[in-house]
Amino acid sequence: MTSSRHVDAHGADPADERILSGDSWTELCRTLERAGRLVLGDAVPDSPRDRAEGYRYLARFLASGIANCITHDDPDYPVFGRMIDYARPWGLDNPDCLYLYAPLRGGATYRVWGNRGSANAIDFQVNFGHFAEGDLSKWGTVSSLDGFDLQVEPDGSFDLWIGGDKEVGNRLASSPDVQFLLVRQYFEDWETEKPADLFIEREGADWPIPPPRTDWTADHLEKLSRWIEKGGGLWEKMSQGFLLGEPNRLIIHMPEAAAERAGMAGLAYGMGNFQCEPDEAVLVEFEPPDCHHWGVALANWYWECVEYASRQSSLNRAQATLDADGRFRGVICHQDPGVPNWLDPAGNTRGTLTARFLRADRAPEVKVTRLPLSDLAGALPADTKPVTPEERSTILERRRRAVIARFRR
């Protein structure tokens, strides 16, 4: 159990030898050195571009670990932090989503309040376990509340209580082994929808915040080590599991059990991969189901979403164009094909292909076809609207500004 710097905060520090000797820091540094295998492993692509991307991934994954395991991991004095950021992607992040994280502990009561914002969907999820454990069987969901059931005032304000026994409109159950609150916000119209303005406090907290104890710091440095080694190992295993499967396919899994292991309630996940050489195209086709939100996106070897602000590497319901027959036809290729639904892989010849459908009435059947780039025009409907270079430039400029606006705070 992770130590608290609140409990017995005014008593004597235990003078944990892991900190006094520097062993905790030394072991963290050793873990970071071992993590180089994620870039230098035998099966890992080794081009100069891949090496640059790999070491950048390690640095960004470390930064996310610092945020989730240390900076925003005091359950007595929680502060919302970005679990995943535009500049810190990991774990097959969703370009439509803003992820917020706040630590919790069993036996405590928390108040979350603020303004709901205008994101197309919002979801509050209380979880046990931690992504640092790198083991799907060791984390899961205690309770969740989405924007469809959240009671909100006319001005968008709301209160939500976690734990305790208050008889209130918005309440989420806790448990003795609870560890964190995950808030997901799904944006459909990137330019107009606004993020929620959220605050969290533990009821009965004593102020000011006491200094950290040696055992608290040692435990959290060890947690960061597990994040790098075990967490990084899990995402490597998951990514390679899809990349090394049958090429160019996408399978949709309905959401019956998604929320049991910290997945979003009501969300159908589509998982697969793409393989596309510079002189090829991959055509992704499906008829979107009746749902509240859907989107498709590309990710690289390290399970980072392909950069999605300055590149059109993802599309959602508001951004995509459906053909006259009601079907979505997305085109993965390395040069702009001059069609609305281009999915830019940013030079990756293989990666993960993903799709998400929120509150869908069915799982769509997906067809993925690899073909010579020269045959693409003949594979698309004759009335496919062309997109000029000038139009594409405007589309990308608007994407870029919308993403920066979403993440600027």
Q: What is the pLDDT along the chain (409 residues), one digit of tens a residue?
A: 444 554 454 568 999 999 999 999 999 999 999 999 999 998 899 999 999 999 999 999 999 999 999 999 999 999 999 999 999 999 999 999 999 999 999 999 999 999 999 999 999 999 999 999 999 999 999 999 999 999 999 999 999 999 998 788 899 999 999 999 999 999 999 999 999 999 999 999 999 999 999 999 999 999 999 999 999 999 999 999 999 889 999 999 876 655 555 578 789 999 999 999 999 999 999 999 999 999 999 999 999 999 999 999 999 999 999 999 999 999 999 999 999 999 999 999 999 999 999 999 999 999 999 999 999 999 999 999 999 999 999 999 999 999 999 998 6
**Residue 260 backbone phi and psi in degrees, to 5:** -75, -25
Domain ranges of the chain: 17-236, 245-407
Q: Omega into 208 within 30° of 0, i.e. cis?
A: yes
Determine the CATH number of domain 245-407.
Answer: 2.60.120.1600
Q: In this structure, are strands 157-162 and 171-172 parallel, antiparallel, or unpaired? A: parallel
Structure pTM? 0.94
What is the 3 state secondary structure string of the chain?
A: CCCCCCCCCCCCCCCCHHHHCCHHHHHHHHHHHHCCHHHHCCCCCCCHHHHHHHHHHHHHHHHHHHHHHHHCCCCCCCCCEEEEECCECCCCCCCCEEEEEEECCCCCCEEEEEECCCCCEEEEEEEECCHHHCCHHHCEEEEEEECCCCCCCCCCEEEEEECCCCCCCCEECCCCCEEEEEEEEECCCCCCCCCCEEEEEECCCCCCCCCCCHHHHHHHHHHHHHHHHHHHHHHHHHHHHHHCCCCCEEEEECCCCHHHHCCCCCEEEEEEEEECCCCEEEEEEECCCCCCEEEEEEECCCCCECCCCCCCCEEECCCCCECCCCCEEEEECCCCCCCCCEECCCCCCEEEEEEEEECCCCCCCCEEEEEEHHHHHHHCCCCCCCCCHHHHHHHHHHHHHHHHHHHCC
Q: Which residue has the tokens 């005014």?
A: 10
- pLDDT at 260 (0 to 100): 56
The CA distance from 244 to 239, in Å, is 9
Edge-to-edge, what's the strand order for the sheet holding 249-253?
Answer: 249-253, 267-275, 350-358, 293-299, 314-316
- pLDDT at 2 (0 to 100): 47
The CA distance from 224 to 239, in Å, is 21
* Token output for 288: 């979107």
